[in-house]
């Protein structure tokens, strides 16, 4: 069975020769790190810097504004813990009800220690995503920070980040955005949207590895931040070991702390290099052709869409609700038996075609889905 039925780019992205590229990268790391000389750090920190540069290109970010983090959740925690208290204490933090659950778990736990109240904007009755106008309506002058979700992981609904960020600035709020579900597929510019910070991982459309997150913070906001998790790499000169003379680096390096973990960045770099060489307009067009076919067919099957029909309002995924009479796990297993790879959240079946997905794989998925539903 070919890989043409791979529809999991909302989860883990794959590309041709990923396994061999990853093996070569890890072998190269082993050779450098295992050599009995003093060349280890120049090699691995150089690879980490290349990883960061790849992310800067994706985000349209200036030098010295992007660093690594383990996950989106960790990146949000790093940023919020560094903010001056006036941004949060006694104010509201705004999120949508279709944000990634991990972020909501974090924010719920931070309310007491950072002194803010979490305001979660619900979806309208019968809707699977939160409308931008509802977010704007809940976004009042008492909101100190809003963390937006560009594309929802449960509906593939895409928010207009530039418009929401402009509203946030009129409210005097900081604006952050979780880019995870569409970064690397759809174009995004931190300058063009005016967000104060952005976070993502490399797992999905960039086809990277776990732990390879990226955090962007605008220079103006960076200058105000004092991360609580700090260490020798937070300084202008990491080799300043004078206990009485610690100072924060003037740029994004202040969000680093102790000796940086490099393995995820090194392991993801081959995928990021591959991604940088893509015809990105062609990738989007390929995704749009296959998602259009999926939408047409699942509607013909009578399945309720959980993804907006308008192309401008969705990311790269198609999500449909399966009947309660057909448990999602059983449907996913039946698709898997036909060489079609999907997943589900509750009764929502998620399908995301990427670079390795082929039309024959999509047709096989639709045939298998029809059989599974009887």
Per-residue pLDDT of 328-365, as tens digits, reads: 999 999 999 999 999 999 999 999 999 999 999 999 99
Q: What is the mean pLDDT of residues 27-56?
A: 97
266 Cβ contact list (under 8 Å, min separation 6): 25, 26, 29, 44, 47, 48, 51
What is the number of other CB atoms lying within 10 angstroms of the CB of residue 139? 22
Three-state DSSP state, 286: helix
Q: Please report the pLDDT score of residue 2 as a whole number.
A: 66
* Cβ-proximal residues to 82 (8 Å cutoff; 6+ apart), any chain: 225, 226, 227, 228, 254, 255
Averaged pLDDT, 119-126: 96
pLDDT for the residue 374: 84
pLDDT at residue 51 greater than cutoff 60 = yes
In this prediction, residues 56-74 reach a mean pLDDT of: 97
Sorted by where each begins, the domain ranges of the chain are 3-17+279-372, 38-276
Strand order in the sheet with 343-345: 318-321, 348-351, 343-345
Residues 6+ apart with CB under 8 A from 133: none
- In this prediction, residues 297-306 reach a mean pLDDT of 95
Assigned CATH class of 3-17+279-372: alpha beta
Mean residue pLDDT across the chain? 97
Domain range 38-276, its CATH number among 3.40.190.10, 3.40.640.10, 3.90.1150.10, 3.40.50.720: 3.40.640.10
Mean pLDDT confidence for 230-250? 97
For residues 103 and 177, give the distance between their C-alpha atoms in angstroms, rounded to a whole number: 11
């Amino acid at each position: 069975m070919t890989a043409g039925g791979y529809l999991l780019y909302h989860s883990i992205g794959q590309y041709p020769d990923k396994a061999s590229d990853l093996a070569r990268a890890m072998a190269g790391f082993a050779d450098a790190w295992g050599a009995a000389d003093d060349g280890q750090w120049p090699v691995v920190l150089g690879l980490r810097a290349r990883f960061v540069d790849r992310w800067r290109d994706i985000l349209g970010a200036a030098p010295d504004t992007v660093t690594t983090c383990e996950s989106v959740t960790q990146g949000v925690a790093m940023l919020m813990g560094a903010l001056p208290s006036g941004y949060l204490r006694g104010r509201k933090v705004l999120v949508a009800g279709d944000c990634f659950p991990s972020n909501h778990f974090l924010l719920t736990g931070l309310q007491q220690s950072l002194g803010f109240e979490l305001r979660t904007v619900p979806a309208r009755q019968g809707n699977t995503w939160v409308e931008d106008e509802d977010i704007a309506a809940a976004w009042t002058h008492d909101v100190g920070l809003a963390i937006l979700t560009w594309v929802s992981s449960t509906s593939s609904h895409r928010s207009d980040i530039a418009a929401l960020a402009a509203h946030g600035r009129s409210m005097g709020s900081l604006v952050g955005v979780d880019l995870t579900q569409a970064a690397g597929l759809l174009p995004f510019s931190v300058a063009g949207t005016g967000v104060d910070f952005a976070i993502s991982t490399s797992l999905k459309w960039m086809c990277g590895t776990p732990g390879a997150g990226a955090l962007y913070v605008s220079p103006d906001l960076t200058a105000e931040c004092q991360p609580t998790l700090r260490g020798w790499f937070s300084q202008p000169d990491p080799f300043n070991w004078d206990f009485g003379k610690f100072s924060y680096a003037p740029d994004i390096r202040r969000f680093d702390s102790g000796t940086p973990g490099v393995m995820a960045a090194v392991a993801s770099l081959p995928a990021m290099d591959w991604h940088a060489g893509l015809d990105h307009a062609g990738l989007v067009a390929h995704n749009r052709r296959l998602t259009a076919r999926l939408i047409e067919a699942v509607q013909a099957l009578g399945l309720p869409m959980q993804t907006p029909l308008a192309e401008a309002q969705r990311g790269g995924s198609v999500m449909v609700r399966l009947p309660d009479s057909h448990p999602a796990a059983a449907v996913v297993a039946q698709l898997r038996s036909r060489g079609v790879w999907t997943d589900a959240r509750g009764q929502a079946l998620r399908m995301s075609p990427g670079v390795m997905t082929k039309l024959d794989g999509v047709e096989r998925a639709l045939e298998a889905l029809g059989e599974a539903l009887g």
